[in-house]
Structure 1
Amino acid sequence: MPPYVYALIVHGVIGGIDVFLNHELLARLPSRPEAAGEERMHSARELLFALLFLSLAWWEWHGPFVWWIVALLVLEVLVSARDLVIEGDVRVLPVTERVLHLFLFMNLGAMYVLTGQALLAWRGLPAGLAAVDHGWGSWVLTAMALGALAWAVRDGMAALRLGKLNASAV
Protein backbone atom coordinates (compact mmCIF):
# COMPACT_ATOMS: atom_id res chain seq x y z
CA MET A 1 0.00 0.00 0.00
CA PRO A 2 1.43 3.41 -0.93
CA PRO A 3 2.50 5.68 1.94
CA TYR A 4 -0.03 8.39 1.05
CA VAL A 5 -2.88 5.96 1.85
CA TYR A 6 -1.56 5.56 5.40
CA ALA A 7 -1.30 9.35 5.78
CA LEU A 8 -4.89 9.77 4.55
CA ILE A 9 -6.14 7.16 7.00
CA VAL A 10 -4.24 8.76 9.91
CA HIS A 11 -5.73 12.11 8.94
CA GLY A 12 -9.23 10.68 8.87
CA VAL A 13 -8.79 9.11 12.31
CA ILE A 14 -7.37 12.25 13.94
CA GLY A 15 -9.98 14.42 12.20
CA GLY A 16 -12.76 12.13 13.37
CA ILE A 17 -11.54 12.33 16.96
CA ASP A 18 -11.38 16.13 16.68
CA VAL A 19 -14.94 16.34 15.35
CA PHE A 20 -16.50 14.02 17.93
CA LEU A 21 -14.52 15.15 20.96
CA ASN A 22 -14.06 18.85 20.36
CA HIS A 23 -16.76 20.00 17.96
CA GLU A 24 -19.58 17.82 19.29
CA LEU A 25 -18.93 16.94 22.93
CA LEU A 26 -16.96 19.91 24.26
CA ALA A 27 -17.91 22.91 22.09
CA ARG A 28 -21.35 21.68 20.94
CA LEU A 29 -20.92 23.71 17.75
CA PRO A 30 -24.16 22.64 16.01
CA SER A 31 -26.17 24.27 18.81
CA ARG A 32 -24.26 27.58 19.00
CA PRO A 33 -25.61 30.33 16.71
CA GLU A 34 -22.25 32.13 16.71
CA ALA A 35 -20.68 28.99 15.18
CA ALA A 36 -22.60 29.20 11.87
CA GLY A 37 -19.53 30.32 9.92
CA GLU A 38 -17.35 27.69 11.52
CA GLU A 39 -19.91 24.99 10.72
CA ARG A 40 -19.90 26.16 7.06
CA MET A 41 -16.13 25.76 6.93
CA HIS A 42 -16.32 22.35 8.58
CA SER A 43 -18.94 21.24 6.08
CA ALA A 44 -16.76 22.39 3.17
CA ARG A 45 -13.67 20.67 4.55
CA GLU A 46 -15.57 17.44 5.21
CA LEU A 47 -16.86 17.46 1.65
CA LEU A 48 -13.33 18.00 0.32
CA PHE A 49 -12.01 15.11 2.39
CA ALA A 50 -14.89 12.87 1.29
CA LEU A 51 -13.91 13.58 -2.32
CA LEU A 52 -10.20 13.13 -1.60
CA PHE A 53 -10.64 9.86 0.32
CA LEU A 54 -12.87 8.37 -2.36
CA SER A 55 -10.76 9.70 -5.25
CA LEU A 56 -7.61 8.05 -3.91
CA ALA A 57 -9.21 4.89 -2.50
CA TRP A 58 -9.66 3.13 -5.82
CA TRP A 59 -7.91 5.20 -8.53
CA GLU A 60 -4.67 6.72 -9.66
CA TRP A 61 -5.09 10.02 -11.52
CA HIS A 62 -2.73 10.02 -14.50
CA GLY A 63 -1.59 12.82 -16.79
CA PRO A 64 -3.57 16.04 -16.50
CA PHE A 65 -6.08 14.26 -14.25
CA VAL A 66 -3.63 14.86 -11.36
CA TRP A 67 -5.01 18.41 -11.27
CA TRP A 68 -8.22 17.10 -9.69
CA ILE A 69 -6.26 15.92 -6.65
CA VAL A 70 -4.16 19.11 -6.62
CA ALA A 71 -7.36 21.19 -6.67
CA LEU A 72 -8.81 19.26 -3.73
CA LEU A 73 -5.60 19.73 -1.73
CA VAL A 74 -5.35 23.45 -2.49
CA LEU A 75 -9.00 24.02 -1.62
CA GLU A 76 -8.50 22.14 1.64
CA VAL A 77 -5.66 24.47 2.63
CA LEU A 78 -7.77 27.53 1.83
CA VAL A 79 -10.76 26.22 3.80
CA SER A 80 -8.57 25.23 6.76
CA ALA A 81 -6.90 28.65 6.78
CA ARG A 82 -10.28 30.39 6.80
CA ASP A 83 -11.58 28.02 9.48
CA LEU A 84 -8.57 28.78 11.66
CA VAL A 85 -9.38 32.50 11.51
CA ILE A 86 -13.10 31.98 12.17
CA GLU A 87 -12.45 29.65 15.11
CA GLY A 88 -10.16 32.20 16.72
CA ASP A 89 -12.78 34.92 16.32
CA VAL A 90 -15.68 32.84 17.67
CA ARG A 91 -14.34 30.85 20.59
CA VAL A 92 -11.40 29.87 22.73
CA LEU A 93 -10.30 26.42 21.65
CA PRO A 94 -9.84 23.81 24.39
CA VAL A 95 -6.40 22.29 24.89
CA THR A 96 -7.53 19.00 23.35
CA GLU A 97 -8.54 20.77 20.16
CA ARG A 98 -5.31 22.77 19.91
CA VAL A 99 -3.24 19.61 20.38
CA LEU A 100 -5.27 17.64 17.82
CA HIS A 101 -4.98 20.54 15.36
CA LEU A 102 -1.20 20.40 15.78
CA PHE A 103 -1.23 16.70 14.89
CA LEU A 104 -3.61 17.34 12.00
CA PHE A 105 -1.38 20.05 10.55
CA MET A 106 1.74 17.89 10.98
CA ASN A 107 0.04 14.96 9.27
CA LEU A 108 -1.33 17.24 6.57
CA GLY A 109 2.23 18.21 5.66
CA ALA A 110 3.26 14.56 5.47
CA MET A 111 0.14 13.74 3.48
CA TYR A 112 0.90 16.52 0.99
CA VAL A 113 4.48 15.36 0.52
CA LEU A 114 3.54 11.70 0.09
CA THR A 115 0.58 12.42 -2.18
CA GLY A 116 2.66 14.95 -4.09
CA GLN A 117 5.28 12.29 -4.82
CA ALA A 118 2.60 10.03 -6.27
CA LEU A 119 1.16 12.92 -8.31
CA LEU A 120 4.58 13.72 -9.74
CA ALA A 121 4.93 10.12 -10.88
CA TRP A 122 1.38 10.01 -12.28
CA ARG A 123 1.56 13.30 -14.21
CA GLY A 124 4.01 11.82 -16.73
CA LEU A 125 1.69 8.93 -17.58
CA PRO A 126 -0.95 8.96 -20.33
CA ALA A 127 -4.17 10.74 -19.29
CA GLY A 128 -6.71 8.58 -17.54
CA LEU A 129 -7.85 6.94 -14.36
CA ALA A 130 -6.15 3.69 -13.40
CA ALA A 131 -8.07 1.38 -11.11
CA VAL A 132 -6.13 0.32 -8.02
CA ASP A 133 -6.90 -1.82 -5.01
CA HIS A 134 -5.06 -0.90 -1.83
CA GLY A 135 -6.64 -3.83 0.00
CA TRP A 136 -8.06 -2.90 3.38
CA GLY A 137 -6.80 0.67 2.84
CA SER A 138 -9.22 1.20 -0.06
CA TRP A 139 -12.11 0.00 2.08
CA VAL A 140 -11.13 2.17 5.04
CA LEU A 141 -10.84 5.24 2.80
CA THR A 142 -14.24 4.44 1.27
CA ALA A 143 -15.82 4.20 4.73
CA MET A 144 -14.12 7.45 5.75
CA ALA A 145 -15.39 9.13 2.58
CA LEU A 146 -18.96 8.10 3.38
CA GLY A 147 -18.60 9.26 6.99
CA ALA A 148 -17.10 12.59 5.91
CA LEU A 149 -19.87 13.09 3.36
CA ALA A 150 -22.56 12.39 5.95
CA TRP A 151 -20.92 14.81 8.38
CA ALA A 152 -20.55 17.45 5.64
CA VAL A 153 -24.32 17.31 5.08
CA ARG A 154 -24.97 17.40 8.84
CA ASP A 155 -22.69 20.38 9.42
CA GLY A 156 -24.04 22.14 6.34
CA MET A 157 -27.59 21.78 7.64
CA ALA A 158 -26.47 23.02 11.08
CA ALA A 159 -24.80 26.04 9.45
CA LEU A 160 -28.02 26.88 7.58
CA ARG A 161 -30.12 26.51 10.73
CA LEU A 162 -27.68 28.57 12.82
CA GLY A 163 -27.51 31.24 10.11
CA LYS A 164 -31.30 31.55 10.20
CA LEU A 165 -31.20 31.87 13.98
CA ASN A 166 -28.62 34.66 13.66
CA ALA A 167 -30.70 36.43 11.02
CA SER A 168 -33.87 36.27 13.11
CA ALA A 169 -32.01 37.60 16.18
CA VAL A 170 -31.04 40.78 14.33
Structure 2
Amino acid sequence: MAHGIIGLLDVVINHAWLSKLPSRRECLAEERLHSTREFLFAALFASLAWTEWHGAFVWWIVALLGAELLVSARDVVVEGEVRLLPPSERFLHLFLFMNLGVMYTLTGQALLAWHALPAGLAPADHGWASWVLSAMALGALAWSVRYARASLRLGRMEPAPA
Protein backbone atom coordinates (compact mmCIF):
# COMPACT_ATOMS: atom_id res chain seq x y z
CA MET A 1 0.00 0.00 0.00
CA ALA A 2 2.89 2.35 0.75
CA HIS A 3 4.19 1.78 -2.77
CA GLY A 4 0.86 2.75 -4.27
CA ILE A 5 0.68 5.95 -2.21
CA ILE A 6 4.27 7.02 -3.00
CA GLY A 7 3.70 6.10 -6.66
CA LEU A 8 0.53 8.20 -6.77
CA LEU A 9 2.43 11.19 -5.39
CA ASP A 10 5.12 10.71 -8.05
CA VAL A 11 2.58 10.42 -10.85
CA VAL A 12 0.47 13.41 -9.84
CA ILE A 13 3.19 15.79 -8.67
CA ASN A 14 6.08 14.96 -10.96
CA HIS A 15 4.69 13.35 -14.11
CA ALA A 16 1.44 15.26 -14.54
CA TRP A 17 1.98 18.60 -12.77
CA LEU A 18 5.70 19.53 -12.87
CA SER A 19 6.98 17.71 -15.96
CA LYS A 20 3.71 17.59 -17.92
CA LEU A 21 4.77 14.31 -19.54
CA PRO A 22 1.49 13.61 -21.37
CA SER A 23 2.01 16.74 -23.52
CA ARG A 24 5.70 16.24 -24.41
CA ARG A 25 6.43 14.33 -27.63
CA GLU A 26 9.96 13.48 -26.47
CA CYS A 27 8.43 11.53 -23.55
CA LEU A 28 6.55 9.04 -25.76
CA ALA A 29 8.69 6.03 -24.77
CA GLU A 30 8.47 7.00 -21.11
CA GLU A 31 4.68 7.27 -21.29
CA ARG A 32 4.49 3.78 -22.82
CA LEU A 33 6.63 2.38 -20.02
CA HIS A 34 4.49 4.16 -17.42
CA SER A 35 1.33 2.72 -18.94
CA THR A 36 2.81 -0.78 -18.83
CA ARG A 37 4.03 -0.39 -15.25
CA GLU A 38 0.68 0.94 -14.01
CA PHE A 39 -1.07 -1.99 -15.69
CA LEU A 40 1.29 -4.42 -13.96
CA PHE A 41 0.61 -2.78 -10.60
CA ALA A 42 -3.14 -2.88 -11.24
CA ALA A 43 -2.87 -6.62 -11.89
CA LEU A 44 -0.66 -7.13 -8.83
CA PHE A 45 -2.90 -5.14 -6.45
CA ALA A 46 -6.04 -6.87 -7.79
CA SER A 47 -4.39 -10.29 -7.57
CA LEU A 48 -3.42 -9.83 -3.92
CA ALA A 49 -6.52 -7.99 -2.68
CA TRP A 50 -8.86 -10.96 -2.25
CA THR A 51 -6.88 -14.05 -3.26
CA GLU A 52 -3.95 -16.19 -2.17
CA TRP A 53 -1.99 -17.85 -4.96
CA HIS A 54 -0.91 -21.34 -3.86
CA GLY A 55 1.51 -23.84 -5.33
CA ALA A 56 2.55 -23.20 -8.91
CA PHE A 57 0.07 -20.30 -9.10
CA VAL A 58 2.65 -18.30 -7.10
CA TRP A 59 4.54 -17.84 -10.35
CA TRP A 60 1.84 -15.41 -11.56
CA ILE A 61 2.78 -13.00 -8.76
CA VAL A 62 6.50 -13.60 -9.37
CA ALA A 63 5.99 -12.83 -13.07
CA LEU A 64 4.17 -9.56 -12.27
CA LEU A 65 6.90 -8.49 -9.86
CA GLY A 66 9.67 -9.45 -12.29
CA ALA A 67 8.03 -7.66 -15.21
CA GLU A 68 7.53 -4.55 -13.08
CA LEU A 69 11.21 -4.59 -12.11
CA LEU A 70 12.28 -4.82 -15.76
CA VAL A 71 9.95 -2.00 -16.81
CA SER A 72 11.13 0.22 -13.94
CA ALA A 73 14.78 -0.44 -14.75
CA ARG A 74 14.18 0.50 -18.38
CA ASP A 75 12.22 3.58 -17.32
CA VAL A 76 15.17 4.86 -15.26
CA VAL A 77 17.34 4.72 -18.38
CA VAL A 78 14.76 6.25 -20.74
CA GLU A 79 13.78 9.16 -18.50
CA GLY A 80 17.44 9.93 -17.85
CA GLU A 81 18.07 10.15 -21.60
CA VAL A 82 15.06 12.36 -22.31
CA ARG A 83 14.73 14.87 -19.51
CA LEU A 84 16.26 16.31 -16.38
CA LEU A 85 14.31 15.02 -13.40
CA PRO A 86 13.24 17.59 -10.79
CA PRO A 87 14.61 17.02 -7.26
CA SER A 88 11.14 15.98 -6.02
CA GLU A 89 11.02 13.19 -8.60
CA ARG A 90 14.50 11.92 -7.75
CA PHE A 91 13.53 11.99 -4.07
CA LEU A 92 10.31 10.02 -4.60
CA HIS A 93 12.07 7.55 -6.91
CA LEU A 94 14.58 6.84 -4.16
CA PHE A 95 11.73 5.99 -1.78
CA LEU A 96 9.95 3.94 -4.44
CA PHE A 97 13.04 1.81 -5.07
CA MET A 98 13.70 1.38 -1.34
CA ASN A 99 10.07 0.42 -0.77
CA LEU A 100 10.23 -1.99 -3.71
CA GLY A 101 12.91 -3.92 -1.82
CA VAL A 102 10.72 -4.04 1.27
CA MET A 103 7.72 -5.05 -0.84
CA TYR A 104 9.68 -7.85 -2.55
CA THR A 105 10.97 -9.10 0.81
CA LEU A 106 7.57 -9.20 2.49
CA THR A 107 5.73 -10.53 -0.55
CA GLY A 108 8.49 -13.08 -1.13
CA GLN A 109 8.00 -14.50 2.36
CA ALA A 110 4.28 -14.99 1.72
CA LEU A 111 4.99 -16.49 -1.71
CA LEU A 112 7.39 -19.03 -0.22
CA ALA A 113 4.71 -20.15 2.24
CA TRP A 114 2.05 -20.23 -0.49
CA HIS A 115 4.29 -22.17 -2.85
CA ALA A 116 4.44 -25.05 -0.34
CA LEU A 117 0.64 -25.45 -0.48
CA PRO A 118 -1.29 -27.42 -3.12
CA ALA A 119 -1.80 -25.45 -6.35
CA GLY A 120 -4.90 -23.31 -6.48
CA LEU A 121 -6.47 -19.99 -5.67
CA ALA A 122 -7.80 -19.44 -2.16
CA PRO A 123 -10.14 -16.61 -1.23
CA ALA A 124 -8.62 -14.21 1.29
CA ASP A 125 -10.18 -11.34 3.18
CA HIS A 126 -7.55 -8.98 4.55
CA GLY A 127 -10.22 -6.68 5.99
CA TRP A 128 -9.75 -3.01 5.14
CA ALA A 129 -6.47 -3.83 3.32
CA SER A 130 -8.40 -5.81 0.69
CA TRP A 131 -10.56 -2.79 0.01
CA VAL A 132 -7.56 -0.46 -0.17
CA LEU A 133 -5.75 -2.81 -2.57
CA SER A 134 -8.90 -2.99 -4.71
CA ALA A 135 -9.10 0.81 -4.87
CA MET A 136 -5.41 0.99 -5.70
CA ALA A 137 -5.89 -1.56 -8.49
CA LEU A 138 -8.63 0.60 -10.01
CA GLY A 139 -6.51 3.73 -9.63
CA ALA A 140 -3.47 2.10 -11.24
CA LEU A 141 -5.66 0.85 -14.09
CA ALA A 142 -7.05 4.35 -14.64
CA TRP A 143 -3.53 5.81 -14.77
CA SER A 144 -2.46 3.03 -17.14
CA VAL A 145 -5.27 3.96 -19.51
CA ARG A 146 -4.39 7.66 -19.15
CA TYR A 147 -0.77 6.95 -20.05
CA ALA A 148 -1.79 4.73 -22.96
CA ARG A 149 -4.06 7.45 -24.36
CA ALA A 150 -1.26 10.01 -23.97
CA SER A 151 1.09 7.63 -25.80
CA LEU A 152 -1.33 7.34 -28.71
CA ARG A 153 -1.72 11.13 -28.86
CA LEU A 154 2.03 11.73 -28.62
CA GLY A 155 2.68 9.14 -31.30
CA ARG A 156 0.50 11.12 -33.72
CA MET A 157 2.25 14.44 -32.96
CA GLU A 158 4.89 15.82 -35.25
CA PRO A 159 8.37 15.79 -33.72
CA ALA A 160 9.56 19.20 -32.58
CA PRO A 161 12.01 20.88 -34.98
CA ALA A 162 15.66 20.41 -34.04
For 1:61, what is the secondary structure of its paired residue?
A: strand
Letter in 2 for 1:109: G
Task: Give the match for residue 48 of structure 1.
Answer: 40
Query: How does the TM-score come out when normalised to structure 2?
Result: 0.97
Task: Give the match for residue 4 of structure 1.
Answer: none
Task: Give the match for residue 81 of structure 1.
Answer: 73
Say whether 1:104 aligns with 2:96. Answer: yes
Task: Give the match for residue 30 of structure 2.
Answer: 38
Aligned in 2, Cα 1:38/1:166: closer, same or farther, shift over 3 Å? farther
For 1:134, what is the secondary structure of its paired residue?
A: coil
Pick one of 99, 122, 127 that aligns with 1:130: 122
Unmatched tracts of structure 2, length 5 or more: none
Letter in 2 for 1:20: V
Task: Please provide the CA RMSD for this pair.
Answer: 1.4
Task: Give me the identity figure in percent.
Answer: 68
Unmatched tracts of structure 1, length 5 or more: 1-8
Aligned in 2, Cα 1:164/1:120: closer, same or farther, shift over 3 Å? same
Whole-angstrom distance in 1 between the partners of 2:61 and 2:139: 20
Runs of 4+ in 1 over 2 A off after TM superposition: 166-170
Letter in 2 for 1:50: A
Whole-angstrom distance in 1 between the partners of 2:104 and 2:156: 37
Query: How does the TM-score come out when normalised to structure 1?
Result: 0.93
Whole-angstrom distance in 2 between the partners of 1:139 and 1:44: 23
